[in-house]
Structure 1
Amino acid sequence: MDELALLRLSGGPVTRRRLARDLARLGLGEGDVVMFHTRMSALGYVAGGSETVIGALGDVVTERGTLMVTCGWNDAPPYDFTDWPRPWQDALRAGHPAYDPALSEADHSFGRLPEALRRHPGAVRSRHPDASFAALGPAAHPLMDEHPWDDPHGPDSPLARLVALGGRVLLLGAPLDSLTLLHHAEALADAPGKRYVDYEQPITVDGERIWRRFHDIDSQDGAFDYSGVVPEGQWPFERIARDMLAAGIGRGGRVGAADSFLFEARDVVDFGVAWLEENLGGPAADPAG
């Protein structure tokens, strides 16, 4: 979509002041710890791009608040490289740079904002190569420090800490299936058939590049088989989020030209765990235990 079309869609340039006004109307406030997901094109023509969005969010939460994004690692080696021919594996192991929180790019599929925020002066990025997050504000270190190497979406992860800090989740024009916090619900849910992955990635330990093995839920292909409970063509997290909204959890509104949603992190996880256990045959759905 060209700039003129975006301007028409959004009723003119979407400025920092307009974004801040819309965010406050949606319910974001001073001192909030908020994890946000953004689809820039949905907002309309944003004058100044990513920095305008970050600036507007900062204006609303003020210096007392903290902004958080999910980053990942755009150039991480593929999980299945250990299935490659041995010479290819050896070449990758010898030459692939170690993950560097300060330099390694955020996953491009997450949009422009994670990369912009993690490069922002004062931002803190977590140490986990595959499941990294970044935060900016006074709660950045409490959220990011010592991100667990294994089960990086589970207890004591940045997602768990977001919940513990009374945090919130904001979808700025982003689709409902982008609710990364539901991976934390998957990690916590006591339901059968949970799927895990083990993989290797290079990190730096005491100044030396090493290959470390990691263990996590399968956040790429799905921690569970949702085919029996989610209609074909619909993403599992979208279904959970729609059920959550139908239950009165979360609030929606327009930010710029985008339909946007604000959730309490604890509500998302509590609802997500209950939904998973009920619909996937966990304790909530099996009286016999």
Structure 2
Amino acid sequence: MSRILRTPDERFADLPDFPYAPHFIELGDVRMAVVDEGARDGEPVLLLHGEPTWSYLYRKMIPPLVAAGLRVVVPDLIGFGQSDKPASIEDYSYQKHVDWVFDAVRALELDQVTLFGQDWGSLIGLRIAAEHPQRFARVVIGNGFLPTAHGSPSLAFLVWRTFARWSPVFPIGRLVDTGSLTKLTKAERAAYDAPFPDRTYKAGARAFPRLVPLRADDPAVPANRAAWDALAAWDKPFLTLFGAKDPILGRADAPLQRHIPGAAGQPHDRLRGGHFIQEDQGPELARRMIEFIGAGRR
């Protein structure tokens, strides 16, 4: 692995509405930051962010989930947030991200997990849930999917992929603002920019769009197709809560609902929100997750 960067701690001082200190997990060459809040004996909720965000995205959801007695675990994916950032795009792969997150799940000894995954959090989370179903009690997906290189990508995604790779500037905070219906404050945009002091820290964010498997010969396709087949037998509760105004993934909930047995009869919904539905509907997402978890106890 090439040079590994670590964002200075002072970049994360005094972030608005984010008083959480991370725990760190050593994963071989890299260190992953994890927000771990709530009762240690509470049912664990694993919140996985995507591109190009970090655990700050869940600041509106953590307090109500903790107040409900849940243990809330929010990793920063490698390359993001307060986690380490390999400096070369070639240091990132779909499989590495899956392995890093699952190694963290094992290190934290999480069991009977409720997963919430959005964007790349769903691409990673659905793989892990399909490959290790004994660890998971239920799944909630918001604006995400599991790509298997069947069909053609949307023009909006191809434009995004090209921009992420070639644009001379990659303004993280403004990208999150654009993908949300709720306009971020200057301080909130700065919080999304905080993990990236300069362009050398953004290799992971630049890499993610090109790691989405679009062709059958992509190295991630066999494992993703196997996971998709496994989800065809997933009979545990499976819920979709999507932002309806997402131009790329706003309609990706329908094939998940058709394919996964555990999605039958669940209170799926498309909410007023963009791609970053956590910004637009964070408290409502938390409320519905609490109800979803409670229904499984009855």
TM-score bucket of the superposed structures, by smaller chain: under 0.3
Which has more helix, going by share of residues? 2
Q: Which has the larger radius of gyration?
A: 1
TM-score, normalised on structure 2? Answer: 0.27
